[in-house]
Chain A
């Protein structure tokens, strides 16, 4: 059980990815392939370059050297506008603090990327948003403001917003970092289910119990991938054991 059987093509293919910042190398010659349907956790100590990796493979940040292909397209040869379009239509982002727009209500926050992409009539997009919200259990909150929902509910809204344009990959930067353990587990259940249904997911996390639910864990130190553990697909059982195994592995990596 290493990778999903179907559509085992690489969504993302990064080679020699290097990022310097103020004369300091944050990412050092990173090679990384992400296959369609993968569920990856990126771990590492603070300052190891986890988030920087996420921002560089998504074109939010400009790499210093290297070659990143997303769905076969070279990021380095794309304009800012093309990169924005790529993020809009093929990537979904979830963040630790969700980062919703306060002057929009929750449904508006979900439909915003869809309206920006403009790939379908707005009525249809509204329907799609409500369907997604119903799926993650927050459809009742559609008309509420950002200040009128809990952290876990907001993160579900964030997931809906990330999925609204049916992206090829879902990228998460500590999506459970600001949640209590119950809410975090619920979010991971949702992500696991989405991955079961074929969504490619890549998360940055500090939390081994989050990483234990993924199928592959990368361990970064000082901008290099020092460990790459294929731990098989999460089947919903044996979580305790997976957690223990992963922790042992992490210790072996120098964590």
Chain B
């Protein structure tokens, strides 16, 4: 026997790669037997396939987790794309089937159809005009199945459905042209939000104990007033019922609908011409683009969030593929060397690995696409109910394209990764048996006072940080997707949020629509009565007028200006201050953006028929009235008055809800709402969706963190088989090793949570503002700073409970996954 001669492979002194593994050698042997067949392509491919299958079988858990991750990414990507396509399709379909108007003007008060007809006759771009009578029923006079609607901010109106255009559709998207007397067809909104069912009784009451019962015969889709955010609702009844109710109660309003020859080109000019003509305009004017935006915003936001989550998952999946790939290569390093040594071309070695991951990605894509297509109908249930189902081939093509795109990203990434193979030389692979270049230890154990396992954990995380990047990104992403929706929901429900709704710190808000010269007297009367009421401490009335102004391009446009003393109940100004007289004006951020001016500039505004240059003294956030509002102290005796708002700050100890109910009864038909309630109802659907999104996001984030931690820890243990065996041999107990691995994961978790939370508070806040910008300004004003909402953070939730939940989930996953530490043995490292 020769000294030092060892029958096996050559080792360096610090070699600790897994060796003596039966499987490894049988693979190599199999390959060597296969060498003579190298020229035969089919045989080779079979071999690569078999190696891939063997590898999958060897790392079942890791493979499964990787597939799940890719699958989820494809699933969410396909489902959200499908949702968006269906949303766009269904809303277009609804608008088309209902023949929705291109421009609609609501008008309350005096109305002369002949005058309008004469004007229309002189406008060649108007294809058609239709007027519909809306009989507004005050919430106090309306009850659904015995539930009074006093607290609803929806303006409910009875209508006789049109038979030609601007149709109401039934749930099969067929026009409702006829409603049986004694029945009523409310919009889908009331089925979903007010809990009405077919067969329920809607009761309308009036003075002199008038009561009219109507039975719900079905529900209608209303192309222009479908969503909650459009605060008017049309309830279809028979003509005779409408006339009967009209004799007793109700505020008349007309919906003047216009169809244009070329809506894309003519809408803006038409709206301007209409307003200039002094035609009936006591109410808001909206166009088809707005209907569409309002219709799509809620579900569109959800779909956008899901797309974002899918993209984040794709990033994690890509990192995970990288980590898993490097682990596999590290484990198979010597085999790769053997393959190269026996003359297999690098291209073919690459193919072995490509086969494996491409198979996995392919399987994940197919399953994910199937899941996504199955999930889409669930996600679009709401859309389908409000708008009907979209049809057409894009509903199927788009999710497939999304899945193919994700697969392409994964495969491209793999190809980039696989280029590494060319850098492995046969000799170094056989000798070194490890891919990672050892780097100099940076921290010193012997200079530390920390507990040994914790110190070792810190040293490993610092010394091998690239290994931990995957986990770090996962934790940062998890905290981000947990905190952003939660903070968004917290912000939108925070009491201070009314500041962004163009309202100062009021407790009760009273709204009064103008429908004649008497309304101003009503406002004064209400203010007088409130001022003598001890429960009301501060009363501030504003009268909103519509004034003409010009936008940045010099095109005339109109602006809702609230006039009154804005210093009584001030709101928070983004810049500047409240206007104090008729020469000054404050603009909402969106209005300011559209005017193309800045605070300190002058804005031409038409007041009483004359153009006045007003000084812009302030800007503020407003998300009401489309986000385009102004504040000033202009004269309010002209015809431009649209509505009045009275803000009340209550004396301490007065309950806002009670006071609002009391005012509502005393000052009818003015509508009074406690500010929290008003905020809730105005933002309600958005907040609901945010809260659902927040709940789902927390669950998704926790699931992602748990899955990835389990996967990562298992892969790390596989990689660290050597060091673990060494530590056990020198007397480290399993509990100590588990503590070390737990410390590593938790250290990375702390870093990830800090970064994720910081990003959530900055980037997340920006995203939240973008959402509002898109909601109120459309896509044109994105990134223009028209929404400047600061996140309201609930520190207990965002900084303690959520990170704690993540910590518990991650720690549990780590402990559960590190049970296999006990199987790592020095015996498996030694060549017997």
Contact = CB atoms under 8 A, between A and B. Distances in A.
Interface of A: 46-47, 51-52, 55, 60-61, 80-81, 84-89, 91, 93, 95-105, 107-108, 111-113, 115-118, 122, 126, 129, 145-147, 150-151, 154-155, 161-162, 165, 173, 176-181, 184, 206-209
Contact of B726 (A81, A96, A101, A179): A101
Given A84-B734, A116-B452, A179-B4, 12 more contacts: A61-B825, A93-B729, A97-B11, A100-B726, A101-B723, A102-B14, A111-B445, A116-B731, A122-B446, A145-B440, A147-B14, A209-B3
B723 to A, nearest CB: 5
B731 to A, nearest CB: 3
B464 A103 contact: yes
B727 interface: yes
7 contacts: A55-B825, A60-B827, A88-B730, A100-B726, A101-B727, A146-B14, A209-B3
Please classify the interface of chain B as helix (H, G, I), strand (E, B), loop, or mixed, using the class held by over half of its residues. Answer: loop
A122 B4 contact: no
Given A61-B825, A104-B441, A180-B4, A99 B726 contact: yes
Cβ-closest 9 pairs across A and B? A88-B731, A84-B733, A108-B445, A87-B731, A151-B13, A99-B726, A115-B452, A103-B463, A81-B733
Interface of B: 1, 3-4, 6-7, 11-16, 438, 440-441, 444-446, 449, 452, 456, 459-460, 463-464, 722-723, 725-736, 822, 825-827, 829-832
Contacts of B12: 151
A104 B462 CA distance: 12
Contacts of A173: 830
B829 A116 contact: no
A102 B445 CA distance: 13
B347 to A, nearest CB: 32
Nearest to A151: B13
B733 A208 contact: no
A184 B4 contact: yes
B731 A103 contact: no
Nearest to B2: A207
B438 A177 contact: no
B4 A178 contact: yes
A109 B723 CA distance: 12
A100 B730 CA distance: 10
Given A61-B825, A208-B1, A89 B733 contact: no
B734 A81 contact: yes
A117 B441 CA distance: 23
B832 A80 contact: no
A99 B728 CA distance: 11
Contacts of A179: 4
Nearest to A146: B14
Contacts of B464: 103
Nearest to B462: A103
B441 A178 contact: no
A105 B444 contact: yes
B769 to A, nearest CB: 45
B794 to A, nearest CB: 41
Contacts of B456: 104, 112
A146 B438 contact: yes
Given A122-B446, A145-B440, A87 B6 contact: no
B106 to A, nearest CB: 72
A46 B722 CA distance: 22
A116 B732 CA distance: 7
A14 to B, nearest CB: 18
Contact of B736 (A116, A181, A208): A116
B719 to A, nearest CB: 12
B734 A88 contact: no
A149 to B, nearest CB: 8
